[in-house]
Chains A and B, each alone.
Chain A
Amino acid sequence: MTERGGLSKEEIRDLFQRYHAAEEDDERTRLREQLVDQYIGLVEFLARRFRNRGEPLEDLVQVGTIGLLKAIERFDLDREVEFSTYATPTVVGELKRHFRDKGWAVRVPRRLQELHLELTKIVSKLGQDLGRSPTVPEIAKEAAITEEQVLEGLEIAQAYNFTSLDAPIDSDDSDSTSFADQMGQEDEQLETLEYRASLAPEMAKLPERERRILYLRFYKGMTQSEIADRLGISQMHVSRLLNRTLVRLRHALEE
């Protein structure tokens, strides 16, 4: 992911040293551009986590790039930490601020947010305890609410973009690396899926995680709960991502 720019660690280190030492503005600009090129993949990766909120990805990448520039400016080589690890919170912070300033992150009524969080926890807990996906009455009992409230909570979650609530941002980029690695191994089978579905162009545009969920659900036949375990996210999150992806593909097919 962060290696997209293709420079080795030593070369990057050298680039930062020259950047911080540079006195000529032209020189600084040139070096800064090289650093941005090197890490634009990281910005795109992080920006993708904020799509589905009504903002074009390109705009989000621009916002994220501001964060990247700030991080480049502040990065101290003596910190002994990878730049991508250092830059991630800054880029994410910039993206979050963008949404907070627009007031878009708080559109979900508080009551529903809380219900959603509560249900997410209970579905996971019961799934563990029972060794299978729970039923609505079981969830209602555990949450001490009515079955109708559970159903409403499950349905309503689809209508909102809860991404901010339950998509942990990886500050450690080793996660994303291993994720990309896993994707590599399954690429061949994904191609079969794409061929079969004749959706190749749209599939290619999907974030890796969404593609992977599609693959695991419809090609490997794993249940949503199993996928949740495998990817380390909640079943309800898998449910939402899957629904959203299908809606998106359906629209793409009709156009």
Chain B
Amino acid sequence: MDTINVKVPASPQYIGVVRLIAAGLASRLGFTIDEIDDLKIAVDELASYLTGTQGRDGVLEISFGVEDTRIEISGRGRFAPGDKVRTELTDFSRMILETVADEASLQQQDGTPTFVLVKSTRS
């Protein structure tokens, strides 16, 4: 599995960069346009929990793992201590993610809010 790591400021305006990298990698794996769009929606949905609508002090560490037809994206929010991030998905988010991703989760891992997202191409 190849791994690509990026760090971006924890601001919504950089989620677009993460989306674009995800799309670029998924495209190499043969994802269709529909599947790439789904992946982007999932990235948006999960990364938005980390940044909030206003952004936070700190960075997002995003790791992309690619293998065959599968992409796994994990994101960790490195924020100032005491910056409380909601890690409970809303029903609506859960419904969206069930539709657009194979696996999606968000939780506190060793005190760091972390998401994991997995999607494979069916084509």
Residues of A with Cβ closer than 8 Å to B? 123, 132-137, 139, 147-148, 150-152, 154-155, 158-159, 196-199, 217-218, 221, 223-225, 235, 239, 242-243, 246-247, 249-251, 253-254
Contact = CB atoms under 8 A, between A and B. Distances in A.
B47 to A, nearest CB: 11
B16 A218 contact: no
Contacts of B45: 246, 250
A30 B60 CA distance: 61
Chain A contact residues, majority secondary structure: helix
Contacts of A159: 16
Contacts of B19: 155
Contact of A243 (B34, B41, B92): B41
B52 A254 contact: yes
B72 interface: no
Contacts of A150: 27
Contacts of B36: 136, 154
Contact of A246 (B23, B32, B41): B41
A147 B48 CA distance: 27
B53 A133 contact: no
Contacts of B33: 123, 133-136, 139, 154, 224-225, 235
Contacts of B2: none
Contacts, number: 86
Contacts of B61: none
Q: Across the A-B interface, give the 6 residue pairs with the lowest CB-CB distance, nearest first.
A: A133-B34, A133-B32, A136-B27, A197-B92, A223-B34, A133-B33
Contact of A235 (B34, B35, B38, B52): B34
13 contacts: A133-B34, A133-B123, A134-B33, A135-B32, A135-B33, A139-B33, A151-B23, A154-B36, A221-B99, A225-B33, A235-B34, A247-B44, A251-B53
B92 A253 contact: yes
Contacts of B30: 135
B90 interface: yes
B95 interface: yes
Interface in B14-58: 16, 19-20, 23-24, 27, 30-38, 40-41, 44-45, 48, 52-53
Contacts of B44: 243, 246-247
